[in-house]
Structure 1
Amino acid sequence: MIEIDAVTKVYGTQTVVDAVSMTVPSGTIAVIVGTSGSGKTTLMRTINRLVEPTSGAVRIDGEDNRALPAYELRRRIGYAIQGHGLFPHRTVAQNIATVPGLLGWDQKRIANRVDELLDLFQLDPAAFRERMPHELSGGQQQRIGVARALAAEPNILLMDEPYGALDPIIRAKAQEDLLAIQARFGTTIVLVTHDMEEAIRLGHRIAVMDAGKLLQYSKPADIIAKPATPFVKELIGAPERPFRLLSLVRVADLAEPGEAAGAPLDAGLSARDAYAELLWSGREAAPVARDGAIVGRVRLQGLAKQAARPS
């Protein structure tokens, strides 16, 4: 668990982070979102002490993060940045092994961990271990960057605009990878982004910042349905709010008994994508399938009701 307690950071006469308090429960993803200069990256960096707060405290599982030397704290916390930050003259395996090597792991343990992470990211160890960063695609470099951040089995992973440089298709796959990894390891993740779509897709909770202040810290559904300020409402985008609500729900959650004609929709599809499919195909309803078996149907009317303004 990460507790950020009244953290303030001042540079000269400028207050970059202004008395921010928020708690990230263990094993969850918190996304900090805001425009450029809102203080979101500075706030996140107080967790691993790349930035020392002017006042306030950060506690990890109840212990002040200043109880350890900064270099030792950072070895316990994974850190992934936009553009991956790989060491250009080290192989993929050497990049991933960076922190385990600093921690004194033996070579066999390091090699096993490198191969485990490459397998996890669907990169064949035999084909990728000895490659250099310049031999990788942008998406592969980003995956290696995240693998390096996870190499020493940290309980906390910090991510600063990790997918900003990726094209939309690779970015969507990278987000899926992150959700799968987080579910597998139960890592506590704090991710910074300026993209509200990404925040809604990834976050268990979303923190919205502006001019150094925390405007709202809530579950995605609450952020969308009940924005705390006009700025939060604008950041969500008023026309997109119904569709953002639909993106939080799976078709399986809305399936009802009954039959429908046409090609089935996968139970794991988002209600937003299902709504689009029904509109495009001109259907009032579609069957819902899980593992090839029909489990019910979803109706356009029900999807529209799900997207309605909360009372």
Structure 2
Amino acid sequence: MIAIEHLTKRIGGTTIVDDVSMVVEAGTITVVVGTSGAGKSTLLRMVNRLISPTSGRVLIDGTDTMTIAEDTLRHRIGYVIQGNGLFPHWTVARNIATVPRLIGWDASRIDQRVTELLALFQLDPGEFAGKFPHQLSGGQQQRVGVARALAAEPGLLLMDEPFGALDPIIRRRAQDDLLAIQRRFGTTIMLVTHDMEEACHLGDRIAVMHEAKLLQYGTPAELLIRPAEGFVERLVGSSERPFRLLSLAKVRDAVEPGDVPGSPVDPDLNLRDALSRLIWTGAERLPVAPEQGRPGGHVSVAGIIAHGRSSMRLSE
């Protein structure tokens, strides 16, 4: 668990981060969102002490980070930046092995970990371990950057605009890769973005910052249904809010009984994408693929709309 207590950073007469307090629960993803200059990246860098706070403190599992040697602290925290920061003249394998080598892992353990992570990110070790960063696509570089951050098995991963340089298709794939990895390892993640769509897709909780202050901190549904007045309302967007709320629920949450013809919908698909598919195909209903312990059934335009309305009422 990360406890951020009254964290403040001032440079000269300018306040970059202003008295921010929040708790990031272990094993969750917290997304810090806001416009450029809101203080998001500075907040993240104070967690691993790349920037020292003017006042306040950060506790990781109850320990004040100021009592931990800087090198020790940073070796325990994975860190991913936009553009990945891969060393251009090192191979993929050596890039991934950076922190394990620094902290003294033996060669066989390092080799095993590099192979495991490459396979996990669907990068064939025989093909990719000896390549250099310039020989990889943007999406492959991104995966190597995340693999390097996870190499020493950190309990905490900090990510600063990690997907900002990727095109939309590769970006969504990278986001889904991250969710799969987080579910597998249970890593606690703090991720900075300016994109509310990305925040809703990835975050268990979202922290909205504006002009150095933390304006609201809650689940995606809480922010969409009850946004704080002013900046947060504008950020979540009045016209987009219903569709973003639908994106938080899965098809399995709105399955109706009965078989219907058509190509089956994955029960793990979110309701916004399911509604898009229904509209695109001109169908009122589509079958839902069965999953273990659950029958199939179908999903419908009317059922999805009713589910969205019900979610709004239950949360008010």
TM-score by length of 2: 0.96
Distance in structure 2 (CA, Å) of the matches to 1:137 and 1:263: 33
Alignment match, 2:302: 301
AA matched with 2:298: R
Q: Distance in 1 between matches of 2:177 and 2:49?
A: 27
Q: CA deviation at 1:58?
A: 0.2
Structure-2 residue corresponding to 1:181: 181
Report which stretch shifted further, 277-286 or 166-175. Answer: 277-286
Q: Secondary structure of 1:131's partner?
A: coil
1:231 equivalent in alignment to 2:231:
yes
Residue 42 of structure 1 pairs with residue 42 of structure 2: yes
Give CA deviations for 1:86-118 in whole Å, capped at 9, x if unaligned: 001111111011100000000000000000000
2:108 corresponds to 1:108: yes
Q: Which residue of 1 aligns with 2:69?
A: 69
Deviation at 1:279, TM superposition (A): 1.6
Stretches of structure 1 that go unaligned for 5 or more consecutive residues are none
Count of equivalent residues: 311
TM value normalised by structure 1: 0.97
Tell me how far apart the structure 2 counterparts of residues 276 and 122 of structure 1 sit (CA, whole Å): 29
Counterpart-to-counterpart distance in 2, 1:128 and 1:283 = 44
> How far apart are the structure 1 equivalents of 2:286 and 2:141?
40
Per-residue CA distance 1:191-237 (angstroms, 9 max, x = gap) = 00000000000000000000010000000011111101221111111
Percent identity (aligned):
60
SS of 2:190's equivalent?
strand
What letter corresponds to residue 158 of structure 2 in structure 1? L
Whether the aligned pair in 2 keeps the contact of 1:215 and 1:229 (CA below 8 Å) is: no
Q: What SS does structure 1 have at the residue aligned with 2:297?
A: strand
Query: Partners in 2 of 1:290 and 1:121 — Cα distance?
Result: 28
Deviation for aligned residue 1:282: 2.3
| Structure 2, unaligned runs of 5 or more | none
Residue range with higher mean Cα deviation, 146-155 or 287-296: 287-296
The 8 Å contact of residues 287 and 294 in structure 1, kept in 2 or not, is answered as no
Structure 1 match to 2:260: 260
Secondary structure, aligned partner of 1:266: coil
CA distance in 1: counterparts of 2:90 and 2:114, whole angstroms? 14
Q: CA contact under 8 A between 1:93 and 1:129: conserved in structure 2?
A: yes
| Alpha-carbon distance in 2 for matches of 1:237, 1:58 | 32
CA offsets, 1:107-158, max 9 Å, x none?
Answer: 0000000000000000000111111111111111111000000000000000
CA RMSD, 1 decimal: 1.3
1:136-182: CA deviations, max 9, x gaps? 11111111000000000000000000000001111111111100100
Partner secondary structure for residue 288 of structure 2:
strand
Corresponding position of 2:85: 85
Q: Counterparts of 1:1-311 in structure 2 under 5 Å? A: 1-290=1-290, 295-308=296-309, 309-310=312-313, 311=316
Are the aligned partners of 1:76 and 1:155 in contact in 2 as well (CA < 8 Å)? Answer: yes
- Which letter does structure 1 place at the counterpart of 2:274? A
CA contact (8 A) 1:248 1:270 kept: yes
